Structure 1
Amino acid sequence: MKKILVATFLSLFLSIPLVQAQHSVARDWNEELLNAIRGDFARPTVHARNLFHSAIAMYDAWAIFNNNAETVFLGKTYANYTCTFDGITTPSDVAAAQHETISYAMYRLLSHRFANSPGATTSLASFQTLFESYGYDVNFTSTDYSSGSYAALGNYLADEIITFGLQDGSNEQNGYANEHYQPVNSPLILELYEDNDNINPNKWQPLAFSVFIDQSGNPFPTNIPAFLSPEWGEVIPFALKADDLEIINEGFDCYVYNDPGEPVYIQESNEDGIDDPYKWHFALVSLWSSHLDPADDTMIDISPGAIGNLSTTAFPETFEEYKAFYDIFQGGDPSTGRNLNPVTNLPYEPQMVKRSDYARVLAEFWADGPDSETPPGHWFTIMNYVSDHPMTEKRWNGFGPILDDLQWDVKSYLALGGAMHDAAINTWGVKGYYDFVRPISAIRYMAAKGQSSDASLPSYDPHGLPLIPNYIELIETGDPLAGDNDENVGKLKVYAWKGPDYIDDPTQDIAGVDWILASRWWPYQRGTFVTPPFAGYVSGHSTFSRAAAEVLTLLTGDEYFPGGMGTFDIPQDNFLVFEKGPSAPFTLQWATYRDASDQTSLSRIWGGIHPPIDDIRGRIIGEKIGVEAFYKANQYFSGFLTTDEFQATTTKVYPVPFTNQITIQAENNQLSKVELFSIDGRQLLTETINSTQKTINLPNLQTGMYFLKAFGTNGNVLLQTKVLKN
């Protein structure tokens, strides 16, 4: 069972030989946090915040003893909250002081955050066991660090982060409950299979269960789960920019960063059928469901030599581009794979796998359940195993000195945690505002309406499903689904995964694929879960994963997994939770972090959770978030920039990005000096100028981000900004 495999995930992931070495104290506490998340309710927003706030605590507890770094929170005004810090005695043993401060901060913070978790008994005991294994005293709770106590400093830092969290917009003090949002639609009662034609088909619909078990395997306290975090856009972010924020009132103030624009709404025109983008997007989800039958012998090559390597400029924008990007009949995207592994300089070996096994495994592997660390935590797990790989050199952004384990971990966690936190804020702000429908509601709604392709045929309705031969058809007399009295004649049927009604024992049963009543279509999920309890648009998995892929690419300085390929072994008949499978063992493989991210996105379509419109716009937002979070974190690491970048309106730099030359121009000022810094704060160039414009040759710089300063004749800073070299 996957439940067993997830518990041993730490030894299986990437299927690589690991260096057996003692982890840093930051890594120890991150593992504790991930285990606590697995025992908590599946709340991606809440846990992205927990991961980020923990990363701040550990980073600041390290940075306060580092001469080059700036703290994020301690001794700073962060957003609207000031955390005072009066300084502390310089330690004779810096490493010991960092260890003690981190441990007290994390023990107090995590004990607070998971006090009411369904797994609290286990998690709190585990926190204490680790804490006491270091020789620390759980009864020491003082926050008065004036005597030079690093334990008290850790307690103080945790206390300040806890207090900050009670006013950061998350509504933590009320269990993160919604304050304003109300669903438009009444719940879909899953057990009754009633017609779902009396809803707004563009809006999210709650689901009613006899028993709801969330994605982490926890029974939920209500059988109609509320929309999770529709007001999360109000939470204080890390690197999201005020210029990218819109506050839009849709019954309540919705905080929407990087607004992707409207999803696709259902059209009213006659006989549009599959030409209606809404119907195409949701019909595609139904068609991909037909790929989930191990009796289907269709084989595909899932090696990095055949899939992956999508161009970052290849994301579709128009409806025609969406239709070209996603293969509605065969599944997948237009990626072509790579010819060679850049590390071994050998071709990637083909790996032929049943499409049905691949699609089913993807749906469950990336769903992160049960025993889930949720999508943000899943990428922390990947980060940890990249760090453990014997071929990983811990050089920040791929160059400079090799960092010790603690410095690498606290910096990695802050960059990745900031990205995951911002992705949650951005994504759920969009979800709360657009409140867009999920496939189970949309497909069952259209099925109840009829068909929209041909007004001359039975059951025509402009809001019906499009007819697609061999996949979506009308039921005729004599059809096995017609019913004893032909009561289903004229209704719609779909060729799809048959659903949880056909599974009594998931360790032995397989639902398979067949013609079913379209009004009984199911996503490929457990019957006690079905679909996450929040709107679909945009996909959290796509946003989180793309943001994480960008961070991992930047912090390692390499888009590829160590060794040129990351892998995860899938055993036969002992991985799937929803049903028995897969039918044969195989290995998930990814050349790059972006390839893994793109695979995550496709998994949610095969899983019946998202249509393509949710996916692509999530990827686009995630890419922006990942890059911005990484470079924001680097501002703190270097101590170079700790506030928003400054650029005088009359001073500019071009071209942006640059190749081998960069020009600085000050229209109304005389330039006196230009300085260029690496992202870790090393000064790479200083050049004296006596003009209003200067072109500098920089042919030997490697591709990446740099910091640029330009000064006027009186020493004032005219320009301070980030520049990218192609």
Structure 2
Amino acid sequence: MSVRRSLCATAVALTTMIALILPAAPAQAAAGPTVAVRWNEALLAAIRTGTLGPPMVARALAIVHTCAYDAWAAYDAVAVGTRLGGSLRRPASERTEANKNEAISFAAHLAAVDLYPAQRAGFDALMAELGYDPANPSSRPAQVGVSACGAVLDQRHADGSNQLGGYADTTGYAPVNAPVVVAEPLTTLNDPGRWAPLTFVNRAGAVVTPPFLAPHWGQVASFSGSARSLADAVPAPVPYGSPGFGAQSAEIVSVTAALTDKQKAIAEYWADGPSSETPPGHWSLFAQRISARDRHTLDQDVKMFFALAGSVMDAGIASWEVKRDHDSARPITAIRHLYRGQRIPTWGGRTVDGASWVPYQASTFPTPPFAEYVSGHSTFSAAAAEVLKRFTGGDAFGEQATVAKGASQVEPGVTPAQDVTLRWNTFTEAADQAGMSRRYGGIHFKAGDLQGRTLGRAVGGAAWERAKAYWTGRG
């Protein structure tokens, strides 16, 4: 790889803005990345061009890597699959790298096409590059992969996500507030403590009012089996009308008005909005770096991505359960309500009528369309960091990314005044910065971030234990 390369195609054309500054990655083998990494890369490419939101993306990652793991488990002496246990296990004479690669690829391809059918050409192209014909699963390894993944897909098609119904809500959720037009000063809210849809002009120039994304997601079957119970243990947010509600809003006004160039860069780097890998996929990119750094074998990569993807799927389920339970207001509506008619400071050295306050975000995606509490970014990132810490046996990360001078999508050509390099010595530092980025961006309150981090660590720990039980044969 080059010394300066793009880390990810994050929201709003951040590919031109962010570069990862690293020494050349150590070679894993003459053939390059393992097939587990190759299929992760292929899925992230589909995610960037798709329209699925973060919890659906996390589930897609989990399904592809579960299918890959279950196919691989058939060629391990002790590991058991998540659906068929050890019933697919092949004799020792067949446990070759070539057979593992083929079984994994047929499984991953089947899952990827099921999840992103419009991107099939890309998945077929990878199969051809690897030397396989997806239309001819006649070999024993291909049959193992198809059987393993078919069982996973059968279960996931009835897991509460409503994938076959386009992920449409199954709970009858309706917002208590009418849409708030971002370009106009706020006048009234039916319930200032609850979530309100936003109307704005998106990247395509269309006026849109996105509904609450996947309010049913807390009902999805979790990988560890404990996502919902962990979510239900999260304390309630401060209610509207309490001193705490006003204090958390005042804090966001203060923080966003005093943003430094580095803080603005943090807010934009981690945004991971439309046309990006989204937060779950961002941590897959980090895992790819760990694979290269630590010279992973195929077996190691299958296990790492399996555990990581299971953790971010559960993070999505748990955080969305909390979001749906409390239906809490985002800063953009809370601040507009509390400060309407008052001049308040905001980013860029300006003052505005509080009724027109906007977060430090691109105007084409001012705030994600779902409730504030808890932060999905914080939960996804803390869960992923927990798994990577446990898999690698330590917290050392040692990565960095550079945000180029003037590359901001919020203040283009102006911010940052000079290149800004973000460094993470540990996975924990990266996860904490991801959570903090949403406060800098005016997307989340402090409690939503911190409680999301706590929830994510618990979710990640539970997912790790579940994954380890599978590959050690305890099921």
TM-score by length of 2: 0.91
Aligned counterpart in structure 1 of residue 237 of structure 2, from 226, 247, 263: 263
Q: Deviation of residue 589 (structure 1)?
A: 1.0
Aligned counterpart in structure 1 of residue 144 of structure 2, from 131, 142, 153: 153
Aligned residues: 461
Q: Which amino acid aligns with 1:538?
A: V
Q: Please list the CA deviations of residues 472-528 of structure 1 after superposition, one character each: whole Å capped at 9, or x if unmatched.
A: xxxxxxxxxxxxxxxxxxx3011102xxxxxxxxxxxxxx22111111100111222
Q: Which amino acid aligns with 2:102?
A: E
Which residue does 2:24 correspond to in 1? 17
Matches within 5 A, 1:86-485: 92=94, 94-115=96-117, 120=118, 123-140=119-136, 149-179=140-170, 180-195=172-187, 197-209=188-200, 211-213=201-203, 223-241=208-226, 245=229, 257-267=231-241, 276-292=243-259, 356-389=260-293, 392=294, 405-448=297-340
Evaluate the alpha carbon distance shift between residue 170 and residue 86 of structure 1 in structure 2; reply closer, same or farther with a 3 A threshold.
Answer: same
Q: Which amino acid aligns with 1:627?
A: G
Aligned counterpart in structure 2 of residue 532 of structure 1, from 368, 373, 380: 368
**Aligned-partner Cα distance in 2 for 1:287–1:569:** 26
Which residue does 1:500 correspond to in 2? none
Aligned identity (percent) is 35
Q: Secondary structure at the match of 1:516?
A: strand
Q: Secondary structure at the match of 2:208?
A: coil
Which residue does 2:4 correspond to in 1? none
Which residue does 1:579 correspond to in 2? 412
Which residue does 1:628 correspond to in 2? 462
Tell me if structure 1 keeps the 8 A contact 2:359–2:441: yes
**Aligned-partner Cα distance in 1 for 2:89–2:470:** 18
Which residue does 2:5 correspond to in 1? none
**Aligned-partner Cα distance in 1 for 2:359–2:231:** 29
Tell me if structure 1 keeps the 8 A contact 2:382–2:428: yes
Q: Secondary structure at the match of 1:375?
A: helix
Q: What is the alpha-carbon root mean square deviation over aligned residues?
A: 2.3
Matches within 5 A, 1:491-502: 491-497=341-347
State which drifts further: 571-580 or 627-636: 571-580
Tell me if structure 2 keeps the 8 A contact 1:42–1:372: no
Evaluate the alpha carbon distance shift between residue 86 and residue 550 of structure 1 in structure 2; reply closer, same or farther with a 3 A threshold.
Answer: closer
Q: Which amino acid aligns with 1:375?
A: P
Tell me if structure 2 keeps the 8 A contact 1:361–1:576: no
**Aligned-partner Cα distance in 2 for 1:7–1:60:** 38
Tell me if structure 1 keeps the 8 A contact 2:332–2:359: yes
Q: Deviation of residue 386 (structure 1)?
A: 1.9
Evaluate the alpha carbon distance shift between residue 632 and residue 111 of structure 1 in structure 2; reply closer, same or farther with a 3 A threshold.
Answer: same
Q: Which amino acid aligns with 1:212?
A: N
Matches within 5 A, 1:657-672: none
Higher relative contact order (CA 8 A, sep 6+): 2
Q: Secondary structure at the match of 1:411?
A: helix
Evaluate the alpha carbon distance shift between residue 420 and residue 14 of structure 1 in structure 2; reply closer, same or farther with a 3 A threshold.
Answer: farther
**Aligned-partner Cα distance in 2 for 1:14–1:628:** 33
Structure having the higher helix fraction is 2
Q: Which amino acid aligns with 2:215?
A: P
Aligned counterpart in structure 1 of residue 37 of structure 2, from 27, 40, 49: 27
**Aligned-partner Cα distance in 1 for 2:93–2:205:** 48
**Aligned-partner Cα distance in 2 for 1:620–1:630:** 16
**Aligned-partner Cα distance in 1 for 2:16–2:120:** 18
Q: Please list the CA deviations of residues 260-296 of structure 1 after superposition, one character each: whole Å capped at 9, or x if unmatched.
A: 121011226xxxxxxx11011011111111124xxxx
Structure having the higher strand fraction is 1
Q: Please list the CA deviations of residues 393-414 of structure 1 after superposition, one character each: whole Å capped at 9, or x if unmatched.
A: x6xxxxxxxxx52111111011
**Aligned-partner Cα distance in 2 for 1:377–1:519:** 35
Q: Secondary structure at the match of 2:258?
A: coil
Q: Secondary structure at the match of 2:183?
A: helix
Q: Deviation of residue 54 (structure 1)?
A: 1.1
Tell me if structure 1 keeps the 8 A contact 2:169–2:216: yes
Matches within 5 A, 1:75-90: 75=85, 85=87
Evaluate the alpha carbon distance shift between residue 212 and residue 574 of structure 1 in structure 2; reply closer, same or farther with a 3 A threshold.
Answer: closer
Tell me if structure 2 keeps the 8 A contact 1:422–1:625: yes
Q: Which amino acid aligns with 2:419?
A: P
Q: Deviation of residue 87 (structure 1)?
A: 5.6
Tell me if structure 2 keeps the 8 A contact 1:447–1:518: yes
Q: Deviation of residue 576 (structure 1)?
A: 4.2
Q: Which amino acid aligns with 1:280?
A: A
Which residue does 1:545 correspond to in 2? 381
Tell me if structure 1 keeps the 8 A contact 2:68–2:145: no
Q: Please list the CA deviations of residues 518-542 of structure 1 after superposition, one character each: whole Å capped at 9, or x if unmatched.
A: 1110011122211000001000011
Q: Please list the CA deviations of residues 315-373 of structure 1 after superposition, one character each: whole Å capped at 9, or x if unmatched.
A: xxxxxxxxxxxxxxxxxxxxxxxxxxxxxxxxxxxxxxxxx211111111111245310
**Aligned-partner Cα distance in 2 for 1:149–1:240:** 32
Q: Deviation of residue 65 (structure 1)?
A: 0.8
